[in-house]
Amino acid sequence: MEILRNIYAEDLEDIAIGGAILGTGGGGDPYIGKLMAQQAIRKHGPVKLIDVDQLADDALVVPVCMMGAPTVMTEKLPQGDELMNAFRALENFLGRKIDAVLCGEAGGVNSTTPFVVAAASGMPLVDGDGMGRAYPELQMVTFTMHGVSATPMVLCDDKGNSLVLETVSNAWTERLARAATVEMGGSALLAFYPMSGAVAKKAAVRGTLSLCSRLGRTLRETRAAHGDPVRAIADMLDAQIIFHGRVKDIDRRTVGGFARGSARFDGVEEWKGHSFRLDFQNEFLMAERDGKLLVTTPDLITLLEAESGNPVTADSLRYGLRLVALTFPSDPQWLTPAGIDLVGPRYFGYDVEYLPFSRNCGGHEKVS
Amino acid sequence: MEILRNIYAEDLEDIAIGGAILGTGGGGDPYIGKLMAQQAIRKHGPVKLIDVDQLADDALVVPVCMMGAPTVMTEKLPQGDELMNAFRALENFLGRKIDAVLCGEAGGVNSTTPFVVAAASGMPLVDGDGMGRAYPELQMVTFTMHGVSATPMVLCDDKGNSLVLETVSNAWTERLARAATVEMGGSALLAFYPMSGAVAKKAAVRGTLSLCSRLGRTLRETRAAHGDPVRAIADMLDAQIIFHGRVKDIDRRTVGGFARGSARFDGVEEWKGHSFRLDFQNEFLMAERDGKLLVTTPDLITLLEAESGNPVTADSLRYGLRLVALTFPSDPQWLTPAGIDLVGPRYFGYDVEYLPFSRNCGGHEKVS
């Protein structure tokens, strides 16, 4: 098997930053996942990152994730062992050795959690994921659109409790896993969507872990060279800068295991006199400028600190922060009717259609 | 293996009535369980009832139960298949054939649900249970006091979803199973507490299914002979009649999957001028007469219709019903410190000690 590259503990710094950019404000604090992954790699050795095409068609591939409200995760640092417990329990249940680890969600904490399992198990990690970003519910993966069942799935907590779920739909898996996660204290570890190599090749969003790594490196190197980190990230992602402003107010609450709310911004510099609003359910899902809807899920909306280019989560939004909003198109799989059904604005309760990215944002980089 | 007796579909009539008496107001509507069991027996043949001493020490014995708020169960008639699904899924998970079925709770609907599995599987059913009555939470079984883990446990719903739980304590099993049951619509089917024959011999409350059968038969025969059914039941159970009155008011609500509340009664005949109050959490847990606490959990409190002797559940209490309250002592296992910790008044949030039955009720059969 050809290895793309070996991932060492220090490489996780870039990957975690890139994961926070693709996290679109949600997906949990990448700092936690980074620490877990670094600890596992220092103990067990580097992770072998492979292209999805390196998988045998009959290989058994299993994604891993943390589940829960990001605000809770930051208070409950999980041990790497729990992820391995979920993984091994699923292996036992399936009665078959797993051949490779996959990333469920290449955004936020879950861009790094698969490295824990890959390091501890010695298994290769596939360079790709099931979202190309972060999303709040577990059925919101490209795997669902390819008919892959989330179950058999194992869900573990930090106390030693575990569940094996077998359900009639991925939406039911989300409901039952969410209820268990809330009961377990707000976060849990999952091994789910067991699939063949053949299916992974069709379903996975490719290259997202490498993309995370490149994004983190670009940010780091641009800062070291006293360049413009926001511009460098926008260029790399082919993203549009849709606002530059200060946080004016934030409305945030935790509902049913989700961090929901909205944030409003007053423009500065080229956007002075303009207003901007983001709605989030863990992730930033909708952006409005001067009262007009501009971007909707599944396209990605990311906030970067104006000076440092560091990504900012919905959790860490504070009054007065000066931020730049970027948007860039989602993986094309999300733009199919099935994709829009799973993660479009209506699923999240917004009474609008998906706004195709190019129509709204193609010519809006600067209006002043 | 020596069989105590074969149980035919028509025998379930008596068992269900007896189960409602031991249900102490809770445990769900025995009518549902009776229909399920009768259907299974008509399809698969009679159930072989055996004494627990007939089990080999290394036999694998598994109790089955329905979980949920009785008020919901009566609206959601489960199919027998779901219980078999739970049972077979546990067998698969354990990788071993189960040798006998046990009753988890010989009160209410769960006095009859094990007959469904015993009939459909052809396995013998042990004459005994884990409570000698009904209780609202799944860790409240004598098995817990013998160190038996509730897990591995399988929980199924009527839609085809199932969970295998493995937990660090039976209290955690209750929490996680309760959350799943609520999410599944309020009721679910369980196969849990897998144990050896040797443990079942020590832990089970013996003979409770036969007792249910005798209680139902006594009620039926006494009525046919125009005798006093309430007196006949009291004599059979060595119970004390602690009140005779009419329902004056009922306070009832469904909280976290439980039917909680209280009912107050005005005395009639020999109890005229006296008042009576019952507190329930699915089951009747506390009885007060003339403002003085008289009986507490784990001793059993049952309401019978004054004329017919039919047992009455907390759910079916209605203004004006004329009822007789009986009390009788619990299985001695519940009166140990460990038993009182699990099911005594303080566990249920009442700030009182357990009142030993004989001290309060021995000489109170009639005060007028």
Which residues in chain B are contacts of A183 at CB distance < 8 A?
175-176, 178-179
User: Does A92 score more than 70 pLDDT?
Assistant: yes
Minimal Cβ distance to B164: which of A164, A178, A179: A164
Q: Please give the Cα distance from B249 to B246 (Å, whole number).
A: 9
User: Does B78 score more than 70 pLDDT?
Assistant: no
Reported ipTM: the value is 0.81
Q: Find out whether B133 and B18 touch, Cβ atoms under 8 Å.
A: no
More confident residue, B136 or B142: B142
Identify the three-state secondary structure at position A362: coil
Q: Which pLDDT band, with edges at 50, 70 and 90, does B358 fall under?
A: low
Which residues in chain A are contacts of B165 at CB distance < 8 A?
161-163
Query: For B9-53, how does the pLDDT look when each residue is reduced to its tens digit (9 = 90+)?
Result: 999 999 999 999 999 998 877 777 898 899 999 999 999 999 999
Which residues in chain B are contacts of A162 at CB distance < 8 A?
165-167
More confident residue, A182 or B12: B12
Query: For B92-105, how does the pLDDT look when each residue is reduced to its tens digit (9 = 90+)?
Result: 999 999 999 999 99
Q: How far is B164 from chain A (nearest CA, A)?
A: 5
Tell me whether residues B176 and A166 touch, CB distance under 8 A: no
| Segment 192-231 of chain A within 8 Å of chain B by CB | none
Q: Hey, what are A239's tokens?
A: 């993203």
Interchain CB contact of B182 with A (< 8 Å): yes
Look up the CATH superfamily of A227-361. CV3147-like (2.40.390.10)
Q: Which of B178-187, B215-224, B289-298 has the lowest mean pLDDT?
A: B178-187
Give the closest residue to A99 by CA, choosing from A120, A125, A64. A125
Which residues in chain A are contacts of B167 at CB distance < 8 A?
160-162
Query: For B110-134, how does the pLDDT look when each residue is reduced to its tens digit (9 = 90+)?
Result: 999 999 999 999 999 999 999 999 9
DSSP A258: E
Q: Which pLDDT band, with edges at 50, 70 and 90, does B366 fall under?
A: very low
Average pLDDT on B340-366 reads 80
Task: Work out the mean pLDDT of chain B and round it to a whole number.
Answer: 92
Query: For A317-333, how does the pLDDT look when each residue is reduced to its tens digit (9 = 90+)?
Result: 999 999 999 999 999 99
Tell me whether residues A162 and B162 touch, CB distance under 8 A: no
User: Does B252 score more than 80 pLDDT?
Assistant: yes
Average pLDDT on A8-32 reads 92
| pLDDT score recorded for residue A29 | 73
Q: Quote the percentage of chain B above a pLDDT of 70.
A: 93
| B155, closest residue in chain A (CA to CA) | A165
Interchain CB contact of A95 with B (< 8 Å): no
Tell me whether residues A167 and B184 touch, CB distance under 8 A: no
Minimal Cβ distance to B183: which of A160, A166, A175: A175
| A85, closest residue in chain B (CA to CA) | B166
| pLDDT score recorded for residue B223 | 96
What burial letters (b/e) apply to B278-295, b meaning 16+ CB within 10 Å? bbbbbbbbbbbbeeebbb
Q: Which pLDDT band, with edges at 50, 70 and 90, does A201 fall under?
A: very high
Which residues in chain A are contacts of B179 at CB distance < 8 A?
179-180, 182-183
| pLDDT score recorded for residue B68 | 81
According to DSSP, the β-strands at B322-328 and B240-255 are antiparallel
A309, B22, B288 from B233: Cα distances, Å:
79, 11, 22
Q: Please give the Cα distance from B155 to B165 (Å, whole number).
A: 8
| pLDDT score recorded for residue B365 | 41
Look up the CATH superfamily of B228-361. CV3147-like (2.40.390.10)
Give the closest residue to B63 by CA, choosing from B34, B104, B100, B29. B104
User: Can you name the CATH fold of B5-208?
Assistant: CV3147-like fold (3.40.1610)
**Dihedral pair phi/psi, residue A101, rounded to 5°:** -100, 145
Give the closest residue to A343 by CA, choosing from A106, A131, A65. A131
Query: For A246-284, how does the pLDDT look when each residue is reduced to its tens digit (9 = 90+)?
Result: 999 999 887 766 778 999 999 999 999 999 999 999 899
| B89, closest residue in chain A (CA to CA) | A166
Query: For B142-166, how does the pLDDT look when each residue is reduced to its tens digit (9 = 90+)?
Result: 999 999 999 999 999 888 899 999 9
Residues with Cβ within 8 Å of A65's Cβ and at least 6 positions away in sequence, in order, are A104, A105, A110, A113, A138, A189, A190, A192
| pLDDT score recorded for residue A358 | 67
Q: Please give the Cα distance from B7 to B47 (Å, whole number).
A: 5
Interchain CB contact of A171 with B (< 8 Å): no
| pLDDT score recorded for residue A360 | 65
Q: Which pLDDT band, with edges at 50, 70 and 90, does B74 fall under?
A: low
A101, A365, B51, B141 from B200: Cα distances, Å:
43, 73, 11, 12
A58 by Cβ neighbours in 10 Å (0-12 / 13-18 / 19+) ranks as: exposed
Q: Quote the percentage of chain B above a pLDDT of 90.
A: 80
Interface probe with B: pick from A157, A166, A175, A190, most Cβ of B within 10 Å: A166
String of DSSP letters for B30-43 = HHHHHHHHHHHHHH
User: Does B258 score more than 90 pLDDT?
Assistant: no
Query: For B224-249, how does the pLDDT look when each residue is reduced to its tens digit (9 = 90+)?
Result: 999 999 999 999 999 999 999 999 99
Query: For B191-227, how does the pLDDT look when each residue is reduced to its tens digit (9 = 90+)?
Result: 999 999 999 999 999 999 999 999 999 999 999 999 9
B253 by Cβ neighbours in 10 Å (0-12 / 13-18 / 19+) ranks as: exposed
| A94, closest residue in chain B (CA to CA) | B93
| B85, closest residue in chain A (CA to CA) | A166
Domain ranges of chain A: 5-208, 227-361
| pLDDT score recorded for residue B77 | 56
Q: Which of A20-29, A133-142, A187-196 has the lowest mean pLDDT?
A: A20-29
Average pLDDT on B53-76 reads 82
User: Does A312 score more than 80 pLDDT?
Assistant: yes
Q: Which of A293-297, B71-75, B124-128, B233-237 has the lowest mean pLDDT?
A: B71-75
Minimal Cβ distance to B165: which of A159, A163, A182: A163
Average pLDDT on A17-38 reads 89
Interchain CB contact of B256 with A (< 8 Å): no
| pLDDT score recorded for residue B319 | 94
Q: How far is A280 from chain B (nearest CA, A)?
A: 25
| pLDDT score recorded for residue A359 | 64
Interface probe with A: pick from B93, B139, B163, most Cβ of A within 10 Å: B163
User: Does B321 score more than 70 pLDDT?
Assistant: yes
Interface probe with A: pick from B164, B175, B182, most Cβ of A within 10 Å: B164
| pLDDT score recorded for residue A261 | 93
| A153, closest residue in chain B (CA to CA) | B163
Minimal Cβ distance to B163: which of A165, A168, A183: A165
| A183, closest residue in chain B (CA to CA) | B176
| B94, closest residue in chain A (CA to CA) | A93
User: Does B176 score more than 90 pLDDT?
Assistant: yes
Q: Which pLDDT band, with edges at 50, 70 and 90, does B364 fall under?
A: very low
Tell me whether residues B165 and A166 touch, CB distance under 8 A: no
